[in-house]
């Protein structure tokens, strides 16, 4: 190939190839195991409490330790990947949560369980921003949001799988069997990732010392051609400084703060509904089985909504689509608060709420990846997810506080409309900051 060309042009102008599909598939498998190991503790908690003769409320610190690990992992994993690479950060993160999930099967005390959930959370939280970054960097611009969304669908699927297997295995095999599975499979997948998962070509180009590895990646992208690396350019600065500081350079500060606001508010609503919806429905008069079904509908709605919103993003753009989606979420949540006495309306409303809240989060992940250049992309996504994790902790805590103050279930659900509207405002704010026409050297929100 003659002439100067950019990595992004090579990926954007060619049909989706085998290597790109392999990257999306491997990342989706890690996301599925991430979702399984993140949620399985909630499914096995009643069995652990019964076996150890403790009140279920005593497991609260264990849940908190897992969420703390997820937050810390997201904040640490992004900068590490921007310095050392996405591939090996994903491999080490998968190895980490596999080892400690497996060790959880032999936990004997609440203290051991708490420590193991904290360490497992570090691996789980570190993997996710890098799965998003790597998928984004291998996806053509026209398919980026869709491919990131499809990859991220592995997370709720893993959660659903954990629920199904928990119901089947706990009565016969016991709760440790879930952690044996949740640890052994990631350890086996780690070997496949080390063998087959490629590094980001954009990252390798910014690290010229790894030119041989870049040559192999380019050959896998275009097997019929050999590229002269002297003609390949990144089209963006390497940002040699500390990656976190780069998130606040110039006008990028506003982008970062608006993204953090959107992630915090949406994950606040999402985890509030995931954690409190069954309880609120039982307080309203629903049976426990129907309340659990409603929680499953929330995740199923998220998968369908994410795919639909990704298709709409491709046609109408991310800001109009996501901004309108969050306004619609606020309306659906407000309607849900007024139909809880009618199951035939409540369950469809919960499905639609999941489509908006959970589905839009998939697209927010892709938007965060688009907002930053290659050199700081994993840091940008990781910190957005990390700040969002604070919202995921605040949501359930705030729900319990308001319930203790005497708020009714309908009032709690109605209150979720407020952060949904704040998220919509943040998205519209990002729209105002976006450049009208990206320079040929970059498709990012800001240079």
3-state secondary structure 227-291: CCHHHEECCCCCCCCCHHHHCCCCCHHHHHHHHHHHHHHHHHHHHHHHHHHHHHHHHHCCCHHHH
Quote the pTM value. Answer: 0.85
In the chain, % of residues over pLDDT 90: 49
Q: pLDDT higher for 275 or 424? A: 424
Does the pLDDT at position 222 exceed 60?
yes
- What is the pLDDT, as a whole number, of residue 189? 98
Q: Which of 410, 428, 62, 419 is nearest to 268 (CA)?
A: 419
SS3 57: helix
Q: pLDDT higher for 152 or 215? A: 152
Does the pLDDT at position 398 exceed 50?
yes
Does the pLDDT at position 370 exceed 60?
yes
Does the pLDDT at position 1 exceed 70?
no
Q: Which of 32-41, 121-130, 163-172, 432-441 has the lowest mean pLDDT?
A: 432-441
Q: What is the mean pLDDT of the chain?
A: 86
Over the stretch 241-266, which tens digit does the pLDDT of each residue have? 557 888 998 888 999 999 999 999 99
Give the burial class of 2: count Cβ atoms within 10 A of its Cβ; 0-12 exposed, 13-18 middle, 19 or more buried.
Answer: exposed
- Over residues 133-148, mean pLDDT: 92
How many whole angstroms separate alpha carbon 348 and alpha carbon 301? 9
């Amino acid at each position: 190939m003659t002439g100067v060309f950019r990595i992004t042009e090579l990926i954007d102008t060619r049909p989706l190839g085998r290597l790109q599909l392999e990257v999306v598939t491997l990342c989706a498998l890690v996301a599925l195991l991430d979702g399984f190991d993140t949620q399985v503790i909630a499914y096995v908690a009643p069995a652990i409490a019964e076996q150890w003769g403790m009140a279920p409320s005593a497991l609260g610190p264990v849940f908190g330790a897992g969420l703390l690990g997820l937050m810390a992992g997201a904040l640490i994993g992004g900068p590490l990947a921007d310095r050392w690479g996405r591939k090996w950060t994903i491999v080490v993160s998968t190895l980490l949560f596999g080892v400690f999930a497996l060790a959880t099967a032999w936990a004997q005390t609440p203290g051991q369980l708490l420590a193991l959930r904290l360490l497992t959370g570090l691996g789980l939280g570190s993997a996710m921003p890098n799965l998003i970054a790597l998928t984004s960097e291998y996806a053509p611009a026209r398919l980026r949001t869709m491919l990131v969304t499809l990859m991220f669908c592995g997370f709720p699927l893993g959660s659903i799988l954990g629920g199904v297997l928990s119901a089947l295995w706990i009565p016969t095999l016991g709760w440790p069997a879930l952690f044996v599975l949740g640890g052994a499979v990631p350890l086996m997948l780690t070997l496949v990732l080390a063998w087959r998962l490629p590094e980001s070509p954009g990252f390798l180009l910014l690290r010229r010392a790894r030119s041989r590895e870049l040559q192999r990646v380019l050959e896998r992208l275009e097997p019929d051609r050999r590229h002269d690396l002297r003609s390949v350019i990144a089209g963006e600065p390497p940002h040699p400084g500390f990656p976190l500081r780069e998130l606040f350079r110039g006008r990028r500060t506003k982008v970062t703060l608006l993204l953090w606001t959107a992630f915090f508010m949406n994950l606040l609503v999402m985890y509030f509904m995931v954690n409190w919806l069954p309880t609120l429905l039982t307080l309203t008069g629903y049976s426990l089985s129907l309340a659990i079904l409603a929680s499953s509908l929330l995740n199923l709605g998220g998968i369908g909504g994410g795919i639909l919103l990704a298709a709409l993003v491709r046609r109408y753009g991310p800001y109009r689509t996501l901004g309108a989606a969050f306004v619609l979420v606020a309306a659906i949540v407000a309607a849900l608060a007024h139909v809880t006495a009618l199951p035939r309306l409540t369950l469809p409303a919960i499905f639609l709420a999941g489509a908006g809240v959970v589905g839009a989060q998939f697209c927010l992940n892709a938007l965060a990846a688009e907002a930053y250049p290659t050199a700081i992309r994993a840091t940008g996504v990781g910190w957005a997810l990390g700040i969002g994790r604070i919202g995921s902790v605040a949501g359930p805590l705030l729900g319990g506080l308001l319930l203790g103050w005497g708020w009714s279930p309908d009032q709690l659900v109605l209150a979720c409309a407020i952060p949904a509207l704040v998220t919509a405002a943040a998205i519209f704010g990002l729209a105002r900051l976006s450049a009208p026409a990206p320079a040929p050297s970059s498709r990012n929100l800001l240079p």
